[in-house]
Amino acid sequence: MALITRGFGGRRRDDPNLPPGQYRTDDFPVLSAGPTPRISLDDWELAVVTESGERSTWSWAEFTALPADEPTVDIHCVTHWSKFGTRWRGVSLDTLLADVETAAEYVVAHSYGGYTTNIPLEDLLDGQAWVAYEFDGEPLVPAHGGPARLLVPHLYFWKSAKWLRALELRLDDEPGFWETAGYHNYGDPWREQRYQAD
Partner 1 sequence: MTWQPATVAAARAETATARTLVLDVDGWAGHVPGQHIDLRLTAPDGYRAYRSYSISSAPGPGRLEVTVQAVTDGEVSPYLVDVAEPGDQLEIRGPLGGWFVRRPADPRPALLIGGGSGVAPLMSMLRAATHPTRLLYSTRSPSEALFTADLATARAADDGRIDVTYVYTRVAPPGWPAPPGRLDADALARVAWPRDADAVTFVCGPTGFVEAVADLLVDIGHDPANIRTERFGPTGG
Residue placing its CB nearer to partner 1 in the complex, 97 or 146: 146
DSSP SS3 for 164? strand
The stretch among 54-62, 66-74, 157-165, 189-197 that binds partner 1 (CB under 8 A) is 189-197
Residue placing its CB nearer to partner 1 in the complex, 58 or 178: 178
The stretch among 13-21, 93-101, 122-130, 156-164 that binds partner 1 (CB under 8 A) is 13-21
d(CA 55, CA 47): 7
Smallest gap from Cβ 188 to partner 1, in A, equals 16
- What single string gives the DSSP state of each residue in 90-132? EEEHHHHTTT------EEEEEETTS-EEEEEGGGTSSSS-EEE
Residue placing its CB nearer to partner 1 in the complex, 127 or 182: 182
d(CA 8, CA 157): 29
- What single string gives the DSSP state of each residue in 29-71? ----SSPPP---TTT-EEEEE-TT--EEEEEHHHHHTS--B--
Among 16, 17, 27, 162, binds partner 1 (CB under 8 A): 27
Among 32, 56, 102, 185, binds partner 1 (CB under 8 A): 32
Could you tell me how many residues make up the chain? Answer: 198
Q: How many residues sit close enough to partner 1 to count as binding (CB under 8 A)?
A: 43
- Which of the residues 61 through 120 are near partner 1 (CB under 8 A)? 79-81, 113-114
Q: Long-range CB contacts (< 8 A, 24+ apart) of 148-151?
A: 148/44, 148/46, 148/63, 148/90, 150/109, 150/117, 151/71, 151/73, 151/88, 151/90
Residue placing its CB nearer to partner 1 in the complex, 3 or 98: 3
Smallest gap from Cβ 48 to partner 1, in A, equals 25
Residues that bind partner 1 (CB under 8 A): 2-14, 21-23, 25, 27-37, 79-81, 113-114, 143, 177-178, 181-182, 194-198
